[in-house]
């Protein structure tokens, strides 16, 4: 099914609908391909699954989740690396009639307990290890402090006692496909991701139709059709990763090649060996990803999707020089929404068109955009979630997503109007936040935590060309402070700020 056929379908689709259609059309075609360096960061050898094989595993995951007797629309948390398991588990949760909540990989004890408790998640699916971190041990300790968690399930070897193993689902014999028992419609919540505002963390729930609108905005602007080979380097724990990789793959029924961010040499090898026609990378890596303008055409690369988690840096990026390979810039405004724009003929970024002068919304699924009275970017439209989550939180004092009376949601990103064109230019991120790759931090909270542990220590956020910001810390006893931060279960990016190793950067795609 082409993008146009999918969008013209009179019956709105769920993620599972799209996947089942792809299975019916191309059962023997390659659906999912693991990173070749998988064994370096997690258990198991690299996998390559056809659509029929992937569908069998998705059904097996859904059946096992149903055996837990969880109520429909229960939240199931996922903390998995960028391997086939992350995609299959997400689809399995949806097929079981539950809500998938992919968790950022660098979230540790404190963040996990707060998030799982906030949305009353009943199950957590993880893998035994990612790099040097034992996620099995982490999951056990998190579950012990999270009253709602009833089930732990894991992929990998040497899982802790009490954890339901899921790795055996790959080896189960094929069974007759079961009808969809989810009861889902396109308006039901499919996924929950987490945003961070100056007021606190926000659980952002998206329906199937809202997620499809976000992905369709990218696919439509890029004019992608056919059955592409997509090489994706963003994880599924955010709107950016879901909309730029999972949705295009489901809509177009191509092949999704997964890359665990970020190993440049591995990425280059995957790009050429798998003959990727589309690559998805952080915006600042778009040009390095093609290894020069002349090289792109030699291996058939058609489209580079550059995802800007710090959209204020887009206008300062270098012109796109690759003829025959297009660049689509995706400006991401936290978990609220995104704007996709193809580079112009001059290779320069295209500025944002406000709704009042657009005349039309632009690419299918694109949001309406305006400059709010506060001088910030406001978004409204099919991809922008307006409901508070979990239900009932709108009647509490907890931090939540909410739209104004006109339906626009304020992203907090400061913008100005270009005098010559009337377009909007993003100037700065929301105040009070440090944005590092795909992770946001409330700087005040971090500074208070550090000062509580060691009154003589300090922490600040500095601009960084690649990641948006980087954290830099000063402490009299660096190692002692690092140990204390680890004991508090904080994000490794915070700990790394006090390591004192020049030039070291934590990967955060």
- Segment (H or E) for 119: helix 109-119
Given a cut of 70, whether residue 362 has pLDDT beyond it is no
- Residue 174 in domain: yes
Q: What is the pLDDT of residues 17-49, one digit of tens each?
A: 999 999 999 999 999 999 999 999 999 999 999
Q: Give how far Cα 326 sits from Cα of 39, 148, 401, Å.
A: 33, 47, 34
Q: What is the pLDDT of residue 479?
A: 87
Q: Which residues pair with 249 in a beta bridge?
A: none
Q: Which residues pair with 338 in a beta bridge?
A: 332
Q: Out of 353, 380, 407, pick the residue that ends a domain.
A: 380
Q: What is the pLDDT of residue 508?
A: 40
Q: Give how far Cα 118 sits from Cα of 7, 59, 137, 444, 451, Å.
A: 35, 29, 22, 21, 26
Distance CA 269, CA 271 (A): 5
First CA to last CA distance, the chain: 30
User: Could you tell me if 106 and 248 lie in one domain?
Assistant: yes
User: Could you tell me if 450 and 318 lie in one domain?
Assistant: no
Given a cut of 90, whether residue 390 has pLDDT beyond it is no
Q: What is the pLDDT of residues 205-239, one digit of tens each?
A: 999 999 999 999 999 999 988 899 999 999 999 99
Q: What is the pLDDT of residue 252?
A: 94
User: Could you tell me if 50 and 178 lie in one domain?
Assistant: yes
- Residue 415 in domain: no
Q: Between residues 61 and 391, which one has the greater pLDDT? A: 61
User: Could you tell me if 471 and 370 lie in one domain?
Assistant: no
User: Could you tell me if 278 and 176 lie in one domain?
Assistant: yes
- Residue 407 in domain: no
Per-residue pLDDT, averaged over 431-449, amounts to 84
Distance CA 5, CA 451 (A): 57
In this prediction, residue 378 has a pLDDT band, given cuts at 50, 70 and 90, of very high
- Residue 506 in domain: no
Asked if residue 390 has a cis previous peptide bond (ω within 30° of 0), the answer is yes
- Residue 417 in domain: no
In this prediction, residue 288 has a pLDDT band, given cuts at 50, 70 and 90, of confident
User: Could you tell me if 266 and 343 lie in one domain?
Assistant: yes
For the chain, give the number of residues: 509
**135 Cβ contact list (under 8 Å, min separation 6):** 79, 126, 127, 128, 129, 154
User: Could you tell me if 337 and 467 lie in one domain?
Assistant: no
Mean pLDDT (the chain, rounded): 87
Residue 293 is encoded by which pair of tokens? 């303008």
In this prediction, residue 298 has a pLDDT band, given cuts at 50, 70 and 90, of low
- Residue 251 in domain: yes
User: Could you tell me if 329 and 238 lie in one domain?
Assistant: yes
Q: Which domain covers residue 452, as residue numbers?
A: 433-496
Q: Out of 336, 364, 380, pick the residue that ends a domain.
A: 380
User: Could you tell me if 176 and 260 lie in one domain?
Assistant: yes
Asked if 370 and 378 count as a contact pair (C-beta separation under 8 A), the reply is yes
Q: Out of 380, 414, 447, pick the residue that ends a domain.
A: 380
- Least-confidence region, from 118-132, 167-181, 419-433, 481-495: 167-181
Per-residue pLDDT, averaged over 297-308, amounts to 83
Q: What is the pLDDT of residue 417?
A: 92
- Residue 450 in domain: yes
Q: Between residues 231 and 110, which one has the greater pLDDT? A: 231
Q: What is the pLDDT of residues 418-429, one digit of tens each?
A: 888 889 999 988
**250 Cβ contact list (under 8 Å, min separation 6):** 15, 18, 19, 22, 215
User: Could you tell me if 361 and 443 lie in one domain?
Assistant: no
Per-residue pLDDT, averaged over 47-65, amounts to 96
Q: What is the pLDDT of residues 133-172, one digit of tens each?
A: 999 999 999 999 999 999 999 999 999 999 999 999 998 7
Q: Between residues 72 and 322, which one has the greater pLDDT? A: 72
Name the domain count of the chain: 2
Q: Which residues pair with 210 in a beta bridge?
A: none
User: Could you tell me if 30 and 100 lie in one domain?
Assistant: yes
Q: What is the pLDDT of residue 452?
A: 87
Q: What is the pLDDT of residues 334-345, one digit of tens each?
A: 999 999 999 988
Q: Which segment, 74-88, 100-114, 391-405, 429-443, is predicted with the most confidence on average? A: 74-88
What's phi and psi for 282, nearest 5 deg? Answer: -60, 145
User: Could you tell me if 326 and 462 lie in one domain?
Assistant: no
In this prediction, residue 404 has a pLDDT band, given cuts at 50, 70 and 90, of confident
For residue 269, give the CATH number of its domain. Answer: 3.40.50.12780
Q: What is the pLDDT of residue 82?
A: 96
- Residue 153 in domain: yes
Query: Do strands 468-474 and 458-464 pair parallel, antiparallel, or not at all (unpaired)?
Result: antiparallel
Q: What is the pLDDT of residues 63-96, one digit of tens each?
A: 999 999 999 999 999 999 999 999 999 999 999 9
For residue 447, give the CATH number of its domain. Answer: 3.30.300.30
Q: What is the pTM of this model?
A: 0.90
Q: What is the pLDDT of residue 499?
A: 75
Given a cut of 70, whether residue 5 has pLDDT beyond it is no
Distance CA 246, CA 447 (A): 36
Q: What is the pLDDT of residue 434?
A: 83
Q: Where are the alpha helices (DSSP H) in 35-83?
A: 38-41, 51-66
């Amino acid at each position: 099914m082409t993008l146009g056929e999918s969008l013209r379908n009179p019956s709105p689709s769920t993620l599972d609908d799209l996947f089942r259609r792809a299975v019916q059309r191309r059962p023997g075609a390659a659906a999912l391909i693991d990173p070749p360096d998988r064994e370096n960061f997690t258990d198991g050898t690299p996998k390559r699954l056809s659509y029929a094989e992937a569908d069998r595993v998705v059904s097996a995951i859904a059946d096992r989740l149903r055996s837990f007797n969880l109520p429909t629309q229960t939240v199931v948390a996922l903390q998995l690396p960028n391997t086939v398991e992350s995609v299959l588990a997400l689809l399995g949760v949806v097929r079981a009639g539950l809500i998938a909540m992919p968790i950022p990989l660098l979230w540790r004890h404190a963040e996990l307990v707060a998030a799982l408790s906030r949305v009353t998640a009943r199950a957590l699916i993880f893998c035994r290890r990612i790099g040097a971190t034992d996620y099995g041990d982490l999951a056990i300790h998190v579950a012990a402090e999270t009253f709602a968690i009833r089930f732990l399930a894991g992929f990998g070897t040497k899982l802790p006692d009490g954890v339901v193993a899921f790795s055996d689902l790959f080896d189960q014999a094929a069974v007759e496909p079961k009808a969809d028992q989810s009861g889902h419609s396109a308006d039901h919540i499919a996924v929950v991701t987490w945003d961070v505002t100056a007021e606190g963390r926000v659980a952002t729930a998206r329906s199937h139709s809202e997620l499809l609108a976000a992905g369709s905005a990218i696919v439509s602007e890029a004019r992608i059709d056919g059955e592409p080979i997509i090489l994706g380097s963003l994880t599924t724990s955010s709107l950016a990763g879901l909309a730029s990789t999972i949705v295009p793959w489901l809509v177009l029924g191509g092949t999704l090649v997964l890359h665990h961010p970020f190993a440049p040499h591995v990425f280059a090898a995957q790009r050429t060996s798998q003959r990727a026609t589309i690559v998805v990378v952080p915006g600042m890596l778009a040009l390095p990803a093609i290894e020069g303008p002349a090289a792109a055409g030699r291996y058939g690369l058609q489209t580079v999707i550059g995802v800007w988690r710090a959209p204020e840096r887009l206008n300062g990026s270098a012109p796109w020089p690759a003829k025959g390979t297009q660049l689509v810039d995706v400006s991401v405004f936290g978990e609220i929404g995104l704007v996709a724009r193809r580079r112009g003929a001059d290779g320069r970024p295209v500025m944002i068109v406000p709704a009042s002068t657009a005349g039309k919304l632009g690419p299918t699924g694109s949001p309406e955009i305006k400059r709010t009275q506060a001088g910030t970017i406001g978004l409204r439209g099919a991809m922008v979630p307006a409901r508070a989550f979990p239900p009932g939180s709108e009647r509490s004092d907890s931090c939540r997503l909410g739209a104004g009376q006109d339906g626009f949601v304020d992203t907090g990103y400061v913008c100005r109007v270009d005098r010559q064109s009337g377009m909007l230019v993003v100037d700065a991120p929301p105040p009070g936040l440090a944005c590092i790759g795909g992770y946001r931090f409330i700087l005040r909270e971090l500074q208070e935590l550090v000062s509580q542990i060691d009154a003589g220590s300090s922490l600040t956020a500095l601009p960084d060309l690649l990641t948006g910001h980087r954290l830099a810390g000063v402490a009299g006893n660096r190692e002692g402070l690092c140990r204390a931060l680890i004991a508090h279960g904080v994000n490794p990016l915070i700990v790394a700020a006090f390591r004192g190793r020049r030039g070291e950067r934590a990967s955060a795609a």
